[in-house]
A and B are shown apart, each in its own frame.
Chain A
């Protein structure tokens, strides 16, 4: 395609330079102070938005570490949390109660010499006491009788 000389860049630049002042005088203008103020307010908002965006972008880079830390903390809390001691509403197992009674009976054999003679229980008294305690708790059964028979 042939290029006419009027399309020459330098020539058109010269034309623009010649016409420029008159065209500017005819067409130029300025925005109002109100518009400038609104743009400034928008710029201020934009800065706030940018700060938030940067903050969340930084946060995102730590999200894997943060998730792992949160998981570890949650697990640790679950493990070490204080729990209420379980108090059974029903009587102890008969054998456990029997153990206690037998210990009481066995104490009859221990250090009896140190007891005052008046307070020293006889074996028959100890067994009778144990039998009575078991009976009160409803644990007197064949097993208990077998043990007492030993």
Chain B
């Protein structure tokens, strides 16, 4: 039987193993936004997300020889998930989106909602963005994990189940409950089209 063709990620990882730094840069760039958004959604703070993002790639570099099966993307997200869990276990979050970070009353949630949105939308949707971020942050960790992986990182439910080492139905169930909670929390501001 012919071997299955390598995915782009696997090709990049092999090129890195062969000594190409550019290949690694490209791998980081490909997953940068989706991975960072997932991590930040999990920990809620930009600075901590930066640390964890770096830690994730450091682990990828350190353990690149251990990648053998599955998809590179799933492997990277599994590493990120473990890094996030390690961090959350070490210290429970002591911050809140409602905490004022400036004397004029600007809250942490305002900052989080503002990142990555074009300016006109940011003005119009600042409030809804803040509400969504706050509601996502309040989801139980297991539900938040699945919800962010599916919506922000665009992973399939099969990939999510594999990364989290849970049955597919469990992943679907967590997503379902996350959506129910968010619908309830955001009923007034935001409705599905």
Binding site for B on A (CB under 8 A): 3-4, 6-9, 12-13, 15-16, 18-20, 22-32, 35-36, 38-40, 42-47, 50-51
Contacts and interface: CB of A to CB of B under 8 A. Distances in A.
A45 B150 CA distance: 33
Interface in B15-31: 16-17, 19, 21, 24-25, 28
A7 B174 CA distance: 9
Interface in B108-144: 112-113, 115-117, 121, 125, 128-130, 132-133, 136
Pick the 10 closest A-B CB pairs, nearest first.
Answer: A46-B61, A26-B132, A26-B129, A28-B37, A28-B116, A29-B115, A43-B24, A23-B151, A27-B41, A26-B133
Given A7-B176, A29-B116, A36-B28, A42 B150 contact: no
26 contacts: A3-B169, A9-B157, A12-B172, A12-B175, A12-B176, A18-B192, A23-B132, A24-B116, A25-B125, A26-B130, A27-B41, A27-B152, A28-B37, A28-B115, A30-B115, A31-B32, A31-B36, A31-B54, A35-B50, A36-B28, A40-B24, A42-B57, A42-B61, A47-B19, A50-B64, A51-B19
Nearest to B131: A26
A19 B192 contact: yes
Nearest to A6: B176
A25 B129 contact: yes
Given A7-B172, A27-B41, A12 B179 contact: yes
Given A23-B152, A27-B112, A28-B152, 10 more contacts: A8-B172, A22-B128, A23-B148, A26-B129, A29-B40, A31-B32, A31-B54, A40-B21, A40-B25, A43-B21
B62 interface: yes
A51 to B, nearest CB: 7
Contacts of A23: 132, 136, 147-148, 151-152
A121 B19 CA distance: 93
B19 A27 contact: no
Interface residues of B, number: 56
B7 to A, nearest CB: 20
Given A23-B152, A27-B136, A29-B49, A9 B54 contact: no
Contacts, number: 137
Contact of B33 (A18, A28, A51): A28
Interface string B139-168: 000000001101110100100000000001
B21 A25 contact: no
B97 to A, nearest CB: 11
A27 B148 contact: yes
B53 interface: yes
A20 B147 CA distance: 10
Contacts of A7: 169, 172-173, 176
A80 B29 CA distance: 63
Contact of B121 (A25, A30, A36): A25
Nearest to B29: A36
Contact of B193 (A18, A28, A50): A18
